[in-house]
A and B are shown apart, each in its own frame.
Chain A
Amino acid sequence: MTHTHDMPGDAAWSAPVRAGRVITLTALNDGANASVLIIGADRLDRLNIPDTLKAQMSARIKPGMVLMSDRGLALATVLASSLDWHDCLTGAAPDRLLLLELVKHGFGAVDLHGCINFFSKVGVADDARVSLAFVPGHARAGDTVTLRADQDLLVFVSTAAHALSDLPAVGVAVQIETPEHTEDPDLREEAVRALRLTRELIA
């Protein structure tokens, strides 16, 4: 079974995604943004951006990274992407779209952890305070990112324009497939440990 639908810009959506399923987001136009929060199978263990970054020595999300939870488990693996930089340092747009989706599942403002802004890039300067500058048009129509659920998840997506973007919001296509098998991409040893623990304990 495959689920597909197109999200317009300035929309939000959420759904359970079972372990092993694969989610592909596709930019429907230039300059797309998809802000994503993820909560794990036990409804408490959330995507933790700092842990994800420091375990994999990266300040951006890119293919071959495992998205890690507050309690050190693998939530999802970035299997592939046509882009090697997805912002995760600047939070969600302050329009509360993600908050409404959280509330639908019984969550609230207390669960507004750091999100990933797929398709967006915020450049990092080499100055004393590490200044940030939004990169307009980083994503082109047709750019994709593919995630594998490594445990049963709740996934929350907002297509609001990035908070630092002056451009109008554009749509993002969502596809969820149920492949019989997926291969792990090349991963750092920390990511391998997170996946192994998750498979041993809950997946």
Chain B
Amino acid sequence: MTVTETTTGLDTVVAAGDGALVTVPAGGRLRIVDLHGNQAVDTLFYDAHDIENRYSAFDTIREQRAVFLTTGSRLLSTRLDELAVITDDTCGRHDTVGGACSQESNVIRYGEFTRHQHACRQTFLRYGAAAGIGQRQLTHNINFFMNVPVTASGGLTFEDGLSAPGKYVEVTASRDLFALISNCPQVNNPCNGWNPTPIQLLGRW
């Protein structure tokens, strides 16, 4: 990752399959741009002053009474603190049920040939280390731009994305945050349109 980080913001491109750890101050806005479309961006949020106070996918879903995230979604922690709010979204909906790919889950889903392919949880561990985020601190993440329909009959599938080149989502931090990002390298399902591509991170604070 090449970072242009200043005291007032951030403008960087995260290459396909790479990641980032970004500190977003309270009130700061972080925009994630899907430069080429159909790119899943696996993201975790932590209270920068207490990483145990971390994003909780299922508490967030329960409290908003809806599965998908979009503008207005309050991203809650395991303590039910508001970590951030989605304040702009030109894609329309984002997943937080599907989790992040790992080498181990790829083996279960696709077979042994995937065991040594790069996966999001490797990226999370690599970039999270600087903030003290290890295996125990990894939890169920947000997949910005990813399309995981949940059906009324209780089914779940991974589908081709709804996103398109230039679509973006913006979160506003409710407290000082770490945003841990993996620009998903998955090539075994349509979550990245079978072709992982770069994303842009724009911070304003």
Interface residues of A in 47-100 (CB under 8 A from B): 48-51, 53-55, 57-60, 62, 68, 70-73, 85, 88-91, 94
B173 within 8 A of A: no
Tell me the nearest residue of chain A to B104, going by C-beta.
A72
Interface residues on B, range: 35 or more
Asked whether B78 lies within 8 Å of A50 as measured between CB atoms, the reply is: no
Chain A interface helix/strand/loop/mixed: loop
A133 within 8 A of B: yes
A192 to chain B, nearest CB (A): 10
Asked whether A110 lies within 8 Å of B152 as measured between CB atoms, the reply is: no
B169 to chain A, nearest CB (A): 15
Cβ contacts under 8 Å, B58 to chain A? 49, 88-91, 114-115
Asked whether A59 lies within 8 Å of B151 as measured between CB atoms, the reply is: yes
Asked whether A53 lies within 8 Å of B136 as measured between CB atoms, the reply is: no
Candidates A59, A73, A91; contact of B56 at CB < 8 Å: A91
Asked whether B157 lies within 8 Å of A57 as measured between CB atoms, the reply is: yes
Asked whether A71 lies within 8 Å of B104 as measured between CB atoms, the reply is: yes
A129 within 8 A of B: yes
B157 to chain A, nearest CB (A): 6
B187 within 8 A of A: no
Tell me the nearest residue of chain B to A66, going by C-beta.
B108
Interface residues of A in 171-203 (CB under 8 A from B): 190, 193-194, 197
Most buried by A among B57, B108, B152: B108
B5 within 8 A of A: no
Candidates B103, B140, B151; contact of A50 at CB < 8 Å: B140
Asked whether A72 lies within 8 Å of B105 as measured between CB atoms, the reply is: yes
Q: How many residues of A contact B (CB 8 A)?
A: 48
Asked whether A58 lies within 8 Å of B140 as measured between CB atoms, the reply is: no
B139 within 8 A of A: yes
Residues of B whose CB lies within 8 Å of any CB of A are 52-54, 56-59, 61-62, 65-68, 70, 78-80, 92-93, 97-100, 102-105, 107-109, 111, 135-140, 148-152, 154-158
Residues of A whose CB lies within 8 Å of any CB of B are 44, 48-51, 53-55, 57-60, 62, 68, 70-73, 85, 88-91, 94, 108-115, 123-126, 128-133, 163-164, 190, 193-194, 197
A-B contacts, 29 listed (Cβ < 8 Å): A44-B135, A48-B105, A49-B58, A50-B57, A51-B102, A51-B105, A51-B108, A54-B99, A68-B108, A70-B102, A72-B105, A73-B104, A85-B154, A89-B61, A89-B67, A94-B80, A108-B52, A110-B54, A115-B58, A124-B67, A124-B150, A124-B152, A128-B92, A128-B93, A130-B149, A132-B61, A132-B62, A132-B66, A133-B65
